[in-house]
Structure 1
Amino acid sequence: MVGLSDIPCVGKNVDRISDAAVDALFRGFSYMFSYKNHVQVLETEIQKLDAEMDRMSRKVREEKDNGKMIVDGVSTWQADVEEVKKSAEEILEKYKNRSSWRCIQWMPIPKPVSRSRLGREAAHKAKRVIELSDSANNLLANGIAYGSPAENAPNTVYQTFKSRSDAYDKLWKALVSEGGSTVLGIYGMPGVGKTTMMESLWKEALEKKIFDKVTRADVGNEDLDVFKLQKQIADHLDCHLNPEDDEQHRASQLKKRLTNGEKILIILDDVWKEIPLHRIGISLGDGDSSTHRKILLTSRKKRVCMDNKCLHPVKIAPLGPEEAWQMFRNTVVPDNIYLLPDESLALEVCNQCGGLPLLIHAVGKALQFTSPDVWKDALNQLVMGNFEKIADIDSNVYACVKLSFDRLPDDAKSCLVLCSLYPEDASIYINKLIPLATGSRLVRGGEARIRSMVEILRSSSLLLDSEDHIIKVHDLIRDVARSIAVKDPKYSFSLVRCGSLLPDDVDYHTRKFLRLHLEKNDILFPDGLVCQDLHNLWLQCNKHAQQFLGDFFGMFVNLRFLLIEDMLFSLEPQFSLRPLVNLRTLILDGCEITHVSQTNASFFPENLVALYIWNCDLPRPLNLPILKHLRKLEIQGWRSNNIQMVPNTVSSMPSLQELHIPGGYKIQDDGCGKSLDAVSAPILGEISKLTGLKSLQMFFFSNSEHFQDTNIFGNLLQYNISVGAKPHDRPLIESSVSIKRLIELQGSGLESLKGLIERAEEVSLDCTDIHVGSIYNSNREAFTDLKNLYIRNCNTIEYLARISCGEIQHSRSFANLGVLEIKDCSALKYLFSKSVAKCLVQLQELAIVRCPVMEAILMNEGTSDRDGVISFCKLKFLSIYNIPRLKSFCMQNKDLHSGSTTHNSAISNIQAQPLFDKTVCFIYFIIIFNSNIIKICLV
């Protein structure tokens, strides 16, 4: 007989169904008859799972205690375990609470369905429990934790200040802009808050998700460690560099990480020199713009920022008084200030911090919860410059500034320690620092070297902002420099205040430079005290009279440099400085020396090499001895404008190379005992004997007949010569460049001085018949160094300079001219020919005032504009005032009015035309006109 299983296709399916039915039936019987066994297995597995749970919990606590992060799978596993245990407990509870599984109460017949259901649930749950136990073993075997990433967000609290909002906003805009500069820079003096501002920008950029990643490297002042920088940058980017790889391979790996498409901010803090970014693996791409990378660096030097491709670094300045007080109060906590007897004490302490956040914070923290006596001591230490001696002060403050000092060139260090000798808030004139540095032999390179070192100090942010010819030093910088100068045996400075006697707590024997601040008259110098190593002395006398009582000359027998400031000299007839036989440089500043000529002996030491007399009351006449070795004589100042000298005073100094008396002097007539008023001939006669003269600053009274032979001026390398009138006030923008050759002439008959005019950097002509054009026509190489030109009341000149296009090709004349001012020149028709105007590439300021016949600024000698456009790319200031005939900035020669006069009716008929046509081009300037310019329209 054929069954279903024998039918093709159908048979196999019937077999499978029957097998499944049989298996299900037997499983059902198994669940029903063995349900107790299934429950016991579940109980056992739950106990095992509890053990795994405990083991996992202990491991989690251990890893967390080690600061590690737990993988997400652990928390998921723990949640699953809790859920399984809860459901298993329900099954076990159901088993325990079973009452009777009999169908009929009085017959022993079980409830098959209930038993089967319980057995099935227990079996399935046990299987799940076993899976979780196995999963725990796998998790523990593979590790349940990993190291937490390095904290990549600053925790600095940035206090906003109104004075810094512009700097912050400028940096923020550059940081978030898609284009713009790739490299941004912050610079400023130590302790001013550069790093704090950088960290605030970093924090805000993270919070606003401007960048995908931010990485930071602390560069420092040590030698460049490429691997260290690479590792610092890579660690923040989760990029693992192999230290065994060479530098180039690591740089390539880091470069790929930085250019993988993410927006990354790279912070380089405390940069001291140019960083070879390519060696590290940082590429700036094509140009200075990037949409995926920004570099933010901090440095103490503007030059360093620019060396690292930062085009516009932002300077951070010290806080103003109000903001400094606000920060100081917040640091100390106002309640602590209220406990002081007088709030002014806290204000004085704050003022001594000079607006530097680093010092404000350090001092404020140190003074928290302290008594008034501690506050007073802190104030005294700050006033004396010993801020590092304040109790509990952060030593990093001193170390921070000293680090900047240590990185300076030796000559720059010397300039800074000399500046530290000046009192608080002093305005230090560079022209006074130069002889102080050279005379003390701390800087041996001369004026150019010292000016160069001052620029280094400025660029290192160790000087405050001030005028170019003045130095100002922050109190903190001064105090650190002074501390170094006192402690370092290379300098061995000492600053001493004294009354009638020298204090005995100073080791004078080891000092090399002593500054005495005298507070009384007639200090008594001790006998028998010889300072062999003391070569430099600065006496600050504060208008006290001094007789140098005691053994002054024995104590300072080896002096080479002496600066005496604000002293009333002794009236003793025999008083003299001549015993100082080793003295080479003497500076008298603000002293009363009207009585020195009454002595029988010479007042001045005979071996002097340099003598400076600044702003002193002088004897009349001044009788200087024969100083055979003197190479520089300088007498200047507002008290030195009426100097009288005995005849042959200057000519008796055969070694003189620099003679600087910018106010001029008069010579006493031997015959009548009176001075020769307004006579230049004797002065020229004496100067002509100084064959080695290289630098001359002198005012000559106008007397043209005595300027016929001026061969004495041919060898001058530097000069500031004024004839006939005192130097005029500098108009417009004050020149920031030191002028080495300057001449100012007033009056006629001074043609013999043309040679000085040709070589000068600044020329001023007033009421003179000297023509710049005639000098230029005779010498096409003239005026190559000219920077400033002022012409007033010169009524015979029609133009300044003109030349044909062919001749101008190789000319450098007027190429450095920056300032040009013309006033009250009645015959002037135009300034330059168009060919000459092409040389005016440095012109920044142009002023033309009251020139009644001028019709154009430039004149085109040709017949067309084929010479092209003239670009005044640096012109910032243009003033045209009271020029009634001005027609155009540039016009053809044929259009110039040929007559000498023009009636107003004729002028009114002139057709209005553009002042600026297409032949001239200006980038940016301020322009000033007035109503006397008629019928001129701007295009």
Structure 2
Amino acid sequence: MNLLHSWISSNSDSSQKLVVLRNKWDRLCARESDVRLELENAEIQPGKKRKREVDVWLRHVELKRTEFGNISNEAKEHGFRSQLTRRVDMLTKEIEDLLEHGRFQNGLLLDDSNSRRVPLVVTDLVGKMLEVTADKISLWLKNDDVLMIGVYGMGGVGKTTLLMHVHNQLLHDFRISGHVYWVTVSQDCSLYKLQHNIAKAICLDLSIEKDDKKRAAILHSRLANMGPTIFILDDMWKHVSIEDIGIPVGANSCKVILTTRLLEVCRRMGCKEAVVKLEPLAGNEAWKLFIDKLENYEALSMGAKQKAELVAKECGGLPLAIITMACSMRGVYDIFEWQNALAELRNPVHRLEDMENDVLQKLKYSYDRLNDEKVQQCFLSCILYPEDYPIWRGGLIEHWVMEGLLDDIESRQDQVNKGYTILKKLENACLLESAFGPDCVECVKMHDVIRDMAILITQNHPRFMAKPGLQIEQLPGEGHWSEDLVKVSLMDNKIEEIPYHMSPRCPKLSVLLLHKNPLKGIPDSFFVHMSSLAVLDLSATKIKRLPSSVSDLENLRLLLLRFCANLIYVPSLAKLRKLRVLNLYGTGIEEAPLGMEGLRELEEVSCGWKLSHVDAFNKYIESQHFQQLHCYGFWLYKQGGDSEGPGRLLNKEVVISGEEFRKKEPAPWLPHDMQLLEIDKCSTKESRSLEDIFPSLYKAKELKNLHVRECTGLEYILSGTQEHSSPSVYPPLETVEYLELFDLCDLKGLLELGGVSPSGIFSHLKILMIEACSRIKMLFPLNLFEQGQILFPCLQQIHVAGCAELVEIFAVANNCSAIAALENAYPTNFFLTLPSLRVLKLWDLPKLRCIYSGLMFCTSLQEFCADECPKLDMLPLSIAFLCDSSPSSLDSLPNNPHWWQWLRKDHPHDANQLLSLINRPQSTNAGCIQLNLHGSA
């Protein structure tokens, strides 16, 4: 009984131990399940990884699972034995230990910066420019000398999307050898917050340290030991010193890529040359993105598809705007809904309504960040011009000056300089774009979406009415002219009349643009309540009379009436004491308006004078009032309507048109400081040269441009018949840089042979253009220079065309005909040096035989062309002598066997040298002249 009782008791204890083991095992399995679930949830988040002890614990649990299974199976099959009981006790103790260790009171995870390297979820890159820019950034990153890279552009243009792609590519490339971190910089980001975000990215706790410099030191120390690292700082709004942040920039340490809307931020952050600007998408790329995001394009009717294309175009190429609008139109099939959407988009108030959160606020922040009310005002004034309108920089700045936006600066030139600085700031902030207008004039443009944002701003304060270029036929009614209006633009519309007795009450109105309207008249009441008006532009209208109420606009600074061809009356300007600019070019006004001579603030005058009033003109030129002008343009004419004069005043200009000059009649007195003189469609029978017509030409000491066109009777520009012994008188035409002579049927030469030729004449000439002067036989006679003298040290280009009698460019002898000179031996003892000559183009000169018969040294010659010059058989030897060292590319040489025969006979070395250059393969001709011979040598 005792043995049986002992056996039963033993088995009972073992069974109890097995029950205890099973219970503890169940608890361990439950804990294991909890740990694995916690890991699964936590490891989804970047920046964390499981502790190694967790992996060890899990492996041990797995081992115990096998051991527990073996014990359970053995107990079932063979019962309990003493050896099994000891194994149960041991396993129970081990499970208890695992349960204790499995609490992980300090957590399951560690911070790990490497685990943050997960690809960002991005859309596909759209547009060739984004792909090219991504490749450019990759090349910069491979260059050890490039440490900072800047990407800038307007809000919504795709900067962040581009850098997200770059980030993902870098993750792949840096998988083994480096670290890549994305840090989003908030708009109000301080240095402290930026340091915190960077520290968080690399799993560094800086929360305890409050001092910026110490935080920077800690960051610098950690990053310096991490090896190659790239930080992408997205959406920087202001400059922050990399050193102050604590990023150790270096080839073997850290590189930084940043995005911003401001070029200035790129420069001040140290990006140097590694800066790229993102532009809006091209038309086809924008359309592709739109239909991709729309998703239901193919299901639309043909009419709806056409409207959809117009809707996409209204988004201005901005990816963010395109995506926002396309998504909002998903599932819309009705053509009337598309038509309505298009109408609302074309209304600036509605165009960005659906984009307000995504686009407008981003764009407006760029405006807010200007942090200068006057700069903001300058920006907003650009909406006064039509959409996509190239705004001439000079004219825009002139408006800013005249509006008083730059009145904190006294000097007019300093104001202009400040204006260009503001323009550059607006361009760098991507609020304006650089553009070119007609004749490649430098302009700026405002992107459509940016313009819409600016219009929305001006709906409240400051209050604008901007309706330019909308083909409006009627002037907005008085209800639209509120008392808080500051600026109004109705330019480039179809407004023909202003209602009689209309008198808007706009006491704050400073700018009114009505130009380019077929406006026939303005009632006198219209300006009565516009006492603050500073800028008034009525150019290119059909008005005949300027209303007398203009005389009371005492704050008016800028009055533009150019190309008002029907205008014959301007009231007295005596009370316009603040008037600074008056432009009457192309009007019927025959002399200066009344009261103009008393305007002490007047700086710029552009007006026409009928030549029958030349005495009044000469009196004005000699007046004290004229001396105060900084800029002027005078158009002197006999009959109006033949010429409009210069359209855009650039400096100090005089245009004389349609006059027949006689010695007994007074000639216009040319201003001594004029910079451009244009003589057009004039005639003379008693004067042979310009200096005979205009004795004051000798006093024009600042004349840069001289144009003489379609004149008869003029034989020479200078005759040399005038005696000017006064040392205060400049040599005639010494300062001229550009000389153009066109269709002068009686012109025999620039200078008359045998006359007095003062030294220094044409010494500043850079460009000479002569065309259709049928009687001229030689351009420059030899009496201008002595042997070896540099005659034209600045001359860069010579263009001669359509001169039927021209035989020689530079005359070979004094007081002898060019044809007789050519009968002598080709070489002479004279040589001519033209050190700056780059272009020599001769065309349609049937009698031209020689450029110069002596040596002509042209060490800078790049282009030489002689086309339709069949008798040209005398090429200056210097071309052969110097072509070996000149960086020239001569377009053509004379196709004349006699010239080549002479060259081979008298100068075999030079002939061989020239031929070797002609025949040299282009691949071995780098750095030498490339000659292209038209015809056989």
Same fold (TM over 0.5): yes
Cα distance change, pair 136–312 in 1 and its aligned pair in 2 (3 A):
same
Evaluate the alpha carbon distance shift between residue 254 and residue 852 of structure 1 in structure 2; reply closer, same or farther with a 3 A threshold: farther
Aligned amino acid, residue 636 of structure 2 = Y
Output the CA distance in 2 between the equivalents of 1:928 and 1:604: 66
Question: Over residues 740-782 of structure 1, what are the superposed CA-to-partner deviations in whole Å (9 max), with x where a residue is unaligned?
Answer: xxxxx9555599885796667x4447764599xx9998799x9
Of 324-333 and 127-136, the range deviating more from structure 2: 127-136
Q: Is 1:588 matched up with 2:568?
A: no
Contact 1:192 1:358 in 2 (8 A): yes
Q: Match of 1:205?
A: 170
Aligned to 1:7: none
Which of 881, 895, 913 aligns to 1:888? It is 881
Matched AA of 2:182: R
Sort the Cα spacing of 1:388 and 1:346 in 2 relative to 1 into closer, same or farther, 3 A. closer
1:168 corresponds to 2:134:
yes
Matched, 1:54 2:27: no
Q: Deviations over 1:397-445 (max 9, x none)?
A: 1122222223335554343322211111212222332332222223345
1:910 aligned partner, one-letter code: H
Q: For 1:609, give the aligned amino acid.
A: L
Distance 1:651 1:777 in 2: 32
Task: Tell me which residue corresponds to 1:3.
Answer: none
Cα distance in structure 2, aligned partners of 1:823 and 1:925 = 26
Task: Look up the equivalent residue of 2:19 and give its one-letter code.
Answer: E
Who is 1:488 aligned against?
Answer: 461
Equivalent-residue separation in structure 2 for 1:331 and 1:148 (angstroms): 39
Q: Deviations over 1:354-377 (max 9, x none)?
A: 111122122223333456555444
SS in 1 for 2:157: coil
Residues 796 and 411 of structure 1, relative CA distance in 2, 3 Å threshold: farther
- Over 3 Å counting, the alpha-carbon distance change for 1:764 and 1:220 in structure 2 is farther
Partner of 1:367: 329
Paired residues in the alignment total 789
Residue in structure 1 matching 2:838, options 842, 846, 854: 846
Structure 2: which amino acid aligns with 1:648? A
- CA distance in structure 2 between the partners assigned to 1:209 and 1:52 by the alignment: 41
CA contact (8 A) 1:878 1:928 kept: no
Q: 2: distance between equivalents of 1:610 and 1:385?
A: 35
Task: Indicate conservation of the 8 Å contact 2:435/2:444, yes or no.
Answer: yes
How far does residue 383 in structure 1 lie from its aligned partner after superposition?
1.9
SS in 2 for 1:386: helix
Cα deviation for residue 846 of structure 1 reads: 2.5
Q: Per the alignment, in what secondary structure is the counterpart of residue 72 of structure 2?
A: helix
Q: Does 2:16 correspond to 1:40? A: yes
Aligned to 2:678: 699
Cα-to-partner distance string for 1:445-504 (whole Å, 9 max, x where unaligned): 543332333233333333334235222221112222233344333x65554886556335
Q: Does 1:95 align with 2:97?
A: no
Aligned partner letter, 1:330: D
The verdict on how the C-alpha distance between 1:389 and 1:358 changes in structure 2, with shifts beyond 3 A counting, is closer
Gaps of at least 5 residues in structure 2 are 1-5, 408-413, 641-656, 681-688, 742-748, 771-777, 801-808, 813-829, 843-850, 867-874, 886-899, 918-924
User: In 2, Cα distance between the equivalents of 1:803 and 1:644?
Assistant: 49
Q: Tell me if 1:534 matches 2:509.
A: yes
RMSD over aligned Cα atoms: 5.0
Task: String of CA shifts for 1:846-897, please: whole Å, max 9, x gaps.
Answer: 22346444756468xxxxxxxxxxxx9xxxx9324455521333899xxxxx
- Of 322, 329, 343 in structure 2, the residue corresponding to residue 380 of structure 1 is 343
Which of 140, 156, 180 is 1:214 aligned to? Answer: 180
Opposite residue 276 of structure 2, the aligned amino acid is: V
Deviation at 1:185, TM superposition (A): 2.4
Change (3 A) 1:934 1:213: same
**Residue identity opposite 2:625 in structure 1:** S
> Residue 547 in 1 paired to residue 513 in 2?
no
User: Given residue 428 of structure 2, which amino acid in structure 1 is its aligned partner?
Assistant: S
Q: 1:476 aligns with which of 449, 453, 459?
A: 449
d(CA) in 1 for partners of 2:131 and 2:664? 62
Q: Is the 8 A contact 2:557 2:580 kept in 1?
A: yes
- What is the 5 A alignment of 1:612-627? 612-613=582-583, 616=586, 618-619=587-588, 621=590, 624-627=593-596
Distance 2:590 2:350 in 1: 50
Whether 1:422 aligns to 2:385 is yes
Distance 2:785 2:168 in 1: 61
* Alignment-derived partner of residue 809 in structure 1: none
CA separation of 1:457 and 1:32: change in aligned 2, threshold 3 A? same
- Counterpart for residue 295 of structure 1: 256
1:94 to 1:145, Cα distance in 2 relative to 1, 3 A: closer
Structure 1 partner of 2:405: 442
Pair 857,204 (structure 1): closer, same or farther in 2 beyond 3 Å: farther
Is the aligned partner of 1:820 residue 2:834? no
Describe the shift of the 1:666–1:527 C-alpha distance in structure 2 as closer, same or farther (beyond 3 A): closer
8 A Cα contact 1:421 1:482, kept in partner:
no
Unaligned runs of 5+ in 1: 1-29, 99-113, 728-744, 806-812, 860-871, 893-900, 917-922
Superposition deviation, residue 200 in structure 1: 0.9
Give CA-to-partner distance per residue, 1:71-95, whole Å, 9 cap, x none.
4544654564455345434533543
Q: Of 244, 252, 266, which aligns to 2:209?
A: 244
Give the deviation of 1:562 after TM superposition.
Answer: 0.7
CA–CA distance in structure 2, aligned partners of residues 484 and 678 of structure 1: 58
Within 1, Cα distance between the matches of 2:257 and 2:443?
A: 32
- Assess, with a 3 A threshold, how the Cα gap between structure 1 residues 462 and 790 changes in structure 2: closer, same or farther: farther
- 2:825 counterpart residue number: none
AA matched with 1:477:
I
SS at match of 1:480: helix
Answer whether contact 1:186 1:194 (CA < 8 A) is retained. Answer: yes
In the alignment, the residues of structure 2 paired with residue 612 and residue 927 of structure 1 have an alpha-carbon distance, to the nearest angstrom, of 53
State the 1:575 CA deviation: 7.6
Residue type of the partner of 1:879?
E
From the superposition, tell whether residues 553 and 779 of structure 1 become closer, same or farther in structure 2 (CA, over 3 Å).
closer
Which whole-Å CA distance do the structure 1 matches of 2:665 and 2:460 have between them? 53
Worse overlay, 702-711 or 185-194: 702-711
**Following the alignment from structure 1 to structure 2, what is the Cα–Cα distance between the partners of residues 479 and 510?**
21
Q: CA deviation at 1:296?
A: 1.6
Flag the 1:803–1:675 CA change in 2: closer, same or farther, 3 A: closer
Contact 2:796–2:838 (CA under 8 A) maintained in structure 1: yes
Cα displacement string for residues 306-329 of structure 1 (whole angstroms, at most 9, x for unaligned residues): 441331422222111110001111
Alpha-carbon distance in 1 for matches of 2:582, 2:65: 100
Matched, 1:515 2:480: no
1:158 aligns with 2:158: no
Does the CA-based 8 Å contact 2:296-2:331 persist in structure 1? no
Larger Rg: 1
TM-score, normalization by structure 1: 0.71
Task: Give distance in 1, aligned partners of 2:307 and 2:147.
Answer: 47
Q: Deviations over 1:520-577 (max 9, x none)?
A: 432216656432222321114532x3322473132334433211144221589x8885
- 1:321–1:351 Cα contact (<8 Å) kept: yes
Deviation of 1:277 after TM superposition, in Å, equals 1.8
Letter in 2 for 1:349: V
The yes-or-no answer on 1:931 pairing with 2:923 is no
**2:863 is matched with which residue?**
879
The residue aligned with 2:243 is 278
SS of 1:322 mapped into structure 2: helix
What code does the residue aligned with 1:588 have?
L
Q: Point out the more displaced range, 268-277 or 823-832.
A: 823-832
Q: Structure 2 vs 1, CA of residues 590 and 194 (structure 1 numbering), >3 Å: closer, same or farther?
A: farther
Q: 1:503 to 1:472 in 2, by over 3 A?
A: same
Match for residue 147 of structure 2 among 182, 194, 210: 182
Shift, 1:651, TM fit: 4.1
The separation in 1 between residues aligned to 2:612 and 2:84, in whole angstroms, is: 125
Instruction: Name the residue aligned to 2:161.
Output: 196
Give the corresponding residue for 1:84.
64
